[in-house]
Structure 1
Amino acid sequence: MERSTWWTTAVSDIEPGSIRYRGYPVEEVIDGASFASTIWLLLRGELPSPAQARLLERALVAGADHGPQAPSIAIARMAMTCGVGVNNAMASAINVLGDVHGGAGEQLMEILAGLADADDLPSAVADVRRRLRYVPGFGHRFHPRDPRRDPLVGAVTRAVADGVVAGRHLEVALEIERQLSEGRERAVPMNIDGATAIIYAELGFAPALGRGLFVLSRAVGALAHAWEESGSGARNKGPVPRDQLAAYAGPPPRHLEPRGD
């Protein structure tokens, strides 16, 4: 089959009867690589070490779902009651993972990268805090302490001890966490965005890929909730129960003057 340079790619090599991921036959990838390792291979060009793959997998697992109170998941479920397919419901969820809902990890990765070479880390972190209204990736509107924080931070700490990652991004994030909690009656621990940002940054992923990886992870929850909702029999289910109405804040009742024609 003739090759065209209209599109060029180093990700995959496809010919009749042959599929290669970054040069590896797909048959060998199927037998020898985990899903996390395959993600790494396609994004980075080489396979990760087993320890790197395990760390990446932990982050992907941790971000998979956060229930229907998460806007993206609620949207997936609502979309499903409108008669669309599972793919449409998943796309609806993914399309709202923006700067506010789903983007904090990428934003924190950019901050971590900017502070990684700081000679005086406490002073550099304090300067960032003065410039930002809030630091993304810390605190949670629902959890006093995000239950995903400790296992993920613990995994990175072990990976540093084992020489898998360098640990500088972890160090920066912990200093931010320390300063945010200093002098407060209630601590401000990092949330899922903060903890996964550390992992993705330590593993060498670009900040924009941090958001992409979170989207990939959360797509699992969107799929599960969309599929569950498809069996409910509900139709056109809105954001509030049918016996409730949205609070009205507009003008009081009024009338148009007759047109006179």
Structure 2
Amino acid sequence: MSANDNTSGGIDYRQLGADYWRTDIIDIEPGKIHVRGYPIQELIGKLSFPDMIWLMLRGDVPSPAQSRLLEAALVASVDHGPHAPSIAISRMAVSCGLPLNGAMASALNTLDDVHGGAGQQAVELFQRIREHIAQGMPLDEAAKVCVDAFVVEHGKYLPGFGHRFHPLDPRAGKLLGLADEAAAEGAVTGEYARIARAIEALLASGRSKPVPMNIDGATAVIYAELGFAPQLARGIFCLSRAVGILSHAWEQSGRGERNKGPMPRQMPYRYTGPATRHLDDSQ
């Protein structure tokens, strides 16, 4: 095959390459950038960043009510203090000499099932309950059946409910209120908010201390109401938390600390291994 020949044995390699990297998301040629069919210059200055996220992930432009609800979830999840593992890691990484992008990558990689995955898990739970309701099961019964099954499979920690730091998460109520407003406007159905509240009521039943919904549960309501897949609940959370990670990494970069550890040097750790011993003692 010559350097200028794009075919061999009946195979069009240029077309093969084009098909291999096919995408519905973006079309680029010299002097042209179209995102989901829209010229980029028509989007700049008109779409908000939440609108752009929606367009990229969903292929169309959200309504104003949908955009406001998505933006609220993004704003609420940006940061939760330097003790949050992802934030702490960004600070430690910068003090070890990593640039901002390295610190952000290190921090984002911690957002897995335990730290960062609760939103996805909550959406999955909500959807299972909705499936039972669609089959004719009453809401309260469906909530109990699915919560019991989740606890048997995964343990007692229910994603989206309770918080190790906040007796009442200050973000959850506001987000749920906005979801209710969107439902009243007809922008969402409100069914996932009802499901989440049914779980909250179930967890409070027979307890002296309730287990209220936290931000992961409230944002899961929003993402489910807006029609995002469970995996995207985690992905969008990563987009939001990346802002806090960047902010803390940037602040840390101006402090001049080197090799920042997980706790001040003045605070000792506790050693629990064997007492001092020597190789000669065992010979």
Offset, 1:141: 0.4
SS in 1 for 2:28: strand
Task: Establish whether residue 25 from structure 1 lines up as the match of residue 39 from structure 2.
Answer: yes
Task: Establish whether residue 60 from structure 1 lines up as the match of residue 74 from structure 2.
Answer: yes
CA distance in 2, matches of 1:201, 1:90: 27
- Once the two structures are superposed, residues 45-100 of structure 1 have per-residue CA deviations (whole angstroms, 9 ceiling, x without a partner) of 00010110000000000000001110100000000101110001111110000000
CA distance in 1, matches of 2:263, 2:46: 47
Aligned length: 259
Offset, 1:130: 2.2
TM-score (normalised: structure 2): 0.88
**AA paired with 1:143?**
H
CA distance in 2, matches of 1:234, 1:134: 37
**AA paired with 1:41?**
L
Task: Establish whether residue 127 from structure 1 lines up as the match of residue 145 from structure 2.
Answer: yes
**AA paired with 2:173?**
D
Q: CA separation of 1:258/1:141 partners in 2, compared to 1, >3 Å: closer, same or farther?
A: closer
Residue among 167, 188, 192 paired with 1:144 = 167
Q: CA separation of 1:162/1:243 partners in 2, compared to 1, >3 Å: closer, same or farther?
A: same
- Once the two structures are superposed, residues 159-183 of structure 1 have per-residue CA deviations (whole angstroms, 9 ceiling, x without a partner) of 1111010111111000001111122
Is the CA contact 2:128–2:146 (under 8 Å) kept in the aligned structure 1?
A: no
Which residue of structure 1 aligns with residue 276 of structure 2?
253
Task: Establish whether residue 15 from structure 1 lines up as the match of residue 33 from structure 2.
Answer: no
Which residue of structure 2 aligns with residue 212 of structure 1?
235
Unaligned 5+ runs, structure 2: 1-13
CA distance in 2, matches of 1:258, 1:113: 62
Which residue of structure 1 aligns with residue 3 of structure 2?
none
CA distance in 2, matches of 1:111, 1:164: 22
**AA paired with 1:164?**
A
Residue among 158, 173, 179 paired with 2:202 = 179
CA distance in 2, matches of 1:47, 1:129: 35
Is the CA contact 2:161–2:200 (under 8 Å) kept in the aligned structure 1?
A: yes
CA distance in 2, matches of 1:128, 1:168: 16
SS in 1 for 2:175: helix
TM-score (normalised: structure 1): 0.96
Offset, 1:259: 9.9
Task: Establish whether residue 70 from structure 1 lines up as the match of residue 84 from structure 2.
Answer: yes
- Once the two structures are superposed, residues 101-145 of structure 1 have per-residue CA deviations (whole angstroms, 9 ceiling, x without a partner) of 000000010011111141211111112232212321100000000
Unaligned 5+ runs, structure 1: none
CA distance in 1, matches of 2:74, 2:117: 15
CA distance in 2, matches of 1:258, 1:77: 43
SS in 1 for 2:19: coil
SS in 2 for 1:148: helix
Residue among 169, 189, 199 paired with 2:222 = 199
Task: Establish whether residue 80 from structure 1 lines up as the match of residue 114 from structure 2.
Answer: no
CA distance in 1, matches of 2:164, 2:127: 26
CA distance in 2, matches of 1:39, 1:237: 34
Offset, 1:258: 7.8
Task: Establish whether residue 107 from structure 1 lines up as the match of residue 130 from structure 2.
Answer: no
- Once the two structures are superposed, residues 192-219 of structure 1 have per-residue CA deviations (whole angstroms, 9 ceiling, x without a partner) of 1100000000000000000000011000
CA distance in 2, matches of 1:105, 1:98: 11
